A and B are shown apart, each in its own frame.
Chain A
Amino acid sequence: MKKQSAVSLQQALSSRGRKTWAVLAVVTVMLLTLAPTDTNHARFNDLGHRMMCTCGCNQVLLECNHVGCTASDKMRDELQQALNSRLGDQQVLDQFVQKYGATVLAAPTTHGFNLVAWIMPFAALLLATWFTVWFVHRWRERPDGAAGVAVAAAELRGADIGALRKQAREETEV
């Protein structure tokens, strides 16, 4: 009796174990299949927004939906194929550049001369900030500009600058 029950318990355990293993296997397979799909979807979305449609519509690849577009559907399929073939992001972009030319990239690359495109706006902002601070500093140190005005006023073809200012201030009413 004891032996029988031990066997049935063993069977039950092995049956439960099989079930557990089966569930684990299904979950693993699901994870293995789902994870790359999600990553691929995110990469598709990311790369598709880093490239332009080449039909001349001047739109980002994934945003191009103009009716009768001869390029975007084909390019999206190519992008999906490239991702399925496990190419890295840079390899995918290089492949598209090779096929469609540099204009297929929606933004300049960050190497070579193209890096200048990225640097310049921020360099200009920094330079302008430095200039403004320097300008403000000098401005604060400078004596009041009334003397400059006086020189200018004296040359105003004899006009009475005080009266003109008064008139202008009345009219501007700020």
Chain B
Amino acid sequence: MAQIGSFALLLALVLSAYSFFAGMLALIRPAAGIDRIGETARRAGIATFFAVTVASLCLLVAVFTNNYSLVYILQHSNNDLPAPYKFAALWSGQEGSLLFWSWLLAIYGLVLRLRHKTDRALFAHASVIIAAVQLFFLLLCNFAAHPFAIVQGQIPTDGNGLNPLLQYPEMVIHPPMLYLGYVGFTIPFAFALGALIMKYPGEKWIHITRRWTMVTWGFLTCGIFLGAHWAYSVLGWGGYWGWDPVENASLLPWITGTAFLHSVMMQEKRGMLKIWNMWLIFTTFLLAILGTTLTRSGAVSSVHAFAQSSIGYWFLGFLALIFSVCMVAFLMNKKYLRSEHQLESLVSRESSFLFNNLLLLAACFAVLWGTLFPIISEYVQGTKITVGAPFFNKVTIPIALLLMLLTAVGPLLAWRKTSTESLKRNFLTATYVTVGLAAVLSIFMKPWTDMANFYSVMAISLSGMVTIITFQEFWRGGRVLAHQRGSTVFAGMVQLARRNTRRYGGYLVHFGVALIIIGFAGLAFNQDKEQELGNGQSMQIGHYTLVCKSYTQDDNPNYGSESAIIDVFRNGKFVTTMFPERRFYKASQTPQTMVANHSTPEEDLYLIYAGLNPDTNQPIIKARINPLVMWIWIGVWIVVLGTAFALVPNLSTARQPAPVGSRVAVGAEAD
């Protein structure tokens, strides 16, 4: 199996090299007969997918057959590892995850190359750029981190096992989603660079790029929040985001991708910000690679990071190469990126997008700066320092609040210029309600007592404003359509959304983000308590009484476990029974908590079985009340739904062309 896998990897390398060089030749010297070489390059790109697939399958077969003659399988699996987690072994180590990255890129490349008839020239350029990226990853797989390396000497009968932290259902989905996001940004990058090199006229490439970016952004969003949910459920510290360098690395391309999805509308609608958009896409891809560099070089301390290795230098070289190519292409072709229109008013949709981008990029810079500062400090001062949650919270929360304000304001501004009357008409209700909401919240949350409380009041009030304005937009348009069609307002709203899926999908995303922010705002009111809890004893936290009924033990081939059985009462009424658990994984000889969580829209009751007190031999239970957390996960679902909805073709173009008048009337122009 190892030989087949190694051969498939080598074949994939040769094929991607051919796809790159032959494709480039066909683009540089367009002549009779060269087209056929271009076509062979495209087919070699398709064949690369099959070769990488065979290599990936070989590794999977090796995991499932417990083939410990491979170093990778020995280090990341064991005989008693449950089948779903054997899949996770594919991306749990450096070598496997690079192969997985190559495979996902090959899938994206396959889809792109099969759709080449959409625009042969542009897709040919993009195909060559993807082949170059693919070539880099296959070089790594073949020469720097070979997944089929053979164990020297005696072959053990059992492996070291998978990291216990990864033995959780979400861990089977979270890394693939995140990788789909990271890898996916190669496609918009390839189209953007291709379009720049071939001096493409403008709108079409950006249309293609925007759709790919939305898909990729959706995957990355899922990946990031699945990771947050995993951290919340498994790590047992009661939080979902720790500002770990690797978490930050995933956030950076997400932020610039978000900025692009907004500013691209200015290019589509008004032919503006062409240079900016081009560089946003370049930056997004560069940040995805930078994140990978940080993770894999061991340059930053992180629970996620792979061991320190020389692979970081490969990535740094690749990063420098990409940046150089982008810069040269830009300098040679920048005159094709001139804006077609000027900004007419500061109070307009265009300027709201400009400031939205400004704030997003400022947030991106703050996160990047904080992530890299330990390295900079070590270089300048000779001492490494920590830049953790207190720094990031202080720096990013004010920016995030300003962004929420813009999220609320932006949709109400018209393109080109917004009149004062229109501003008054659109904003008055929302402003009154928001100020009222803030006043009511202030009575209960006392924002003057603590900065965290102040931020919470602001976050919930601004989220409320976003929600009101979002529904106001649906309501107004729905009412106009209902009037025209004689239907109900709800039917009008559905019709409206289907006529402009991108716009109203975007509003759904905004609504989802508002709910997520409400969930974050609960952080200021977390409570926690730790207590020894013997059989029959009870503890009080908030309005909950926890009564320990018993402790139990279990054992299976993979792990042994101890868990507490705790009855939960709220204001004296029985609510539920919870089972916080502690596992001990046999192969890796490491303990792990399994949090018990009782989640309601109001708050989560979060219990951790922390083990026995060595002095008293009594079990210790840590309890937390985390308000509003459920809204984060609900918000994420709405964001994902909104993104999916935005990708659906408009009803008016797909099936039923709408009269021009009605489209203008319902505000389709304001996309």
Contact = CB atoms under 8 A, between A and B. Distances in A.
Nearest to B654: A173
A139 B343 contact: yes
B199 A155 contact: yes
A24 to B, nearest CB: 30
B590 to A, nearest CB: 8
A30 interface: no
Interface in A21-52: 49-50, 52
B650 interface: yes
Contacts of B335: 148, 151-152
B232 to A, nearest CB: 12
Given A102-B383, A139-B342, A173-B653, A108 B373 contact: yes
B610 A113 contact: no
Contacts of A174: 265, 268-269, 502, 671
Contact of B203 (A108, A122, A172): A172
B385 A145 contact: no
Given A64-B237, A65-B622, A129-B358, A159 B385 contact: no
B425 interface: no
B302 interface: yes
B385 A121 contact: no
Interface string A128-157: 110010001001101111101101110111
A82 interface: no
Nearest to A166: B203
Given A58-B242, A121-B395, A67 B592 contact: yes
A156 B201 contact: yes
A85 interface: no
A59 B608 CA distance: 16
Nearest to B362: A125
A164 B373 contact: no
Contacts of B593: 65-67
B386 A63 contact: no
Nearest to A143: B342
B386 A103 contact: yes
Contact of A117 (B236, B269, B373, B389): B373
A59 B590 CA distance: 18
Interface string B350-382: 010011001101100110011001000100110
B201 A161 contact: yes
A171 B653 CA distance: 9
B207 A142 contact: no
Given A124-B362, A129-B358, A148-B339, A108 B391 contact: yes
B399 interface: yes
Interface of A is mostly: helix
A165 interface: yes
B344 A140 contact: yes
Interface in B133-169: none
Contacts of A172: 203-204, 206-207, 268
Given A167-B204, A171-B204, A117 B387 contact: yes
A144 B361 contact: no
Contacts of A140: 342-344
B340 interface: yes
Contact of A173 (B238, B271, B650): B650
A145 B593 CA distance: 61
A148 to B, nearest CB: 4
B312 interface: no
A57 interface: yes
Nearest to A63: B237
A168 B380 contact: no
Given A103-B384, A105-B386, A106-B386, A117 B370 contact: yes
Nearest to A149: B340
Interface in B190-208: 199, 201-204, 206-207
A152 B339 CA distance: 11
Contact of A58 (B201, B239, B301, B341): B301
B668 to A, nearest CB: 9
Contacts of B362: 121, 124-125, 128
B380 A49 contact: no
Interface residues of B, number: 72
B382 to A, nearest CB: 10
Contacts of B653: 173
In the complex, which of the residues B265, B373, B380, B592 has the most CB atoms of chain A within 10 Å of its own CB atom? B373
Contacts of B268: 172, 174
Contact of B385 (A56, A59, A114, A118): A114
A64 B303 CA distance: 13
A86 interface: no
B389 A106 contact: yes
A150 B338 CA distance: 10
A149 B369 contact: no
B388 A107 contact: yes
B342 A142 contact: yes
B622 A114 contact: no
Given A132-B355, A142-B342, A145-B338, A102 B385 contact: yes
A91 to B, nearest CB: 19
A142 to B, nearest CB: 6
A158 interface: no
Nearest to A122: B395
Contacts of A50: 390
B582 interface: yes
Nearest to B388: A106
B591 interface: yes
Interface of A: 49-50, 52, 56-60, 63-68, 101-108, 112-114, 117-118, 120-122, 124-125, 128-129, 132, 136, 139-140, 142-146, 148-149, 151-153, 155-157, 159, 161, 164-165, 167-169, 171-174
Interface of B: 199, 201-204, 206-207, 235-239, 242, 244, 265, 268-269, 271, 301-303, 335-336, 338-344, 346, 351, 354-355, 358-359, 361-362, 365-366, 369-370, 373, 377, 380-381, 383-391, 394-395, 399, 502, 582, 590-593, 608, 610-611, 622, 650, 652-653, 671
Given A68-B591, A102-B384, A142-B342, 5 more contacts: A107-B388, A125-B358, A125-B359, A136-B351, A152-B338
28 contacts: A50-B390, A52-B388, A63-B237, A63-B238, A65-B237, A66-B237, A102-B383, A102-B384, A102-B386, A106-B389, A108-B377, A118-B395, A122-B395, A124-B369, A129-B358, A132-B354, A132-B355, A139-B342, A145-B339, A145-B342, A149-B340, A152-B336, A156-B201, A165-B201, A165-B203, A167-B204, A168-B203, A172-B268
Question: What 10 pairs between A and B have smallest CB-CB spacing?
Answer: A168-B203, A148-B338, A121-B366, A106-B388, A107-B391, A107-B390, A168-B204, A67-B591, A172-B207, A125-B362
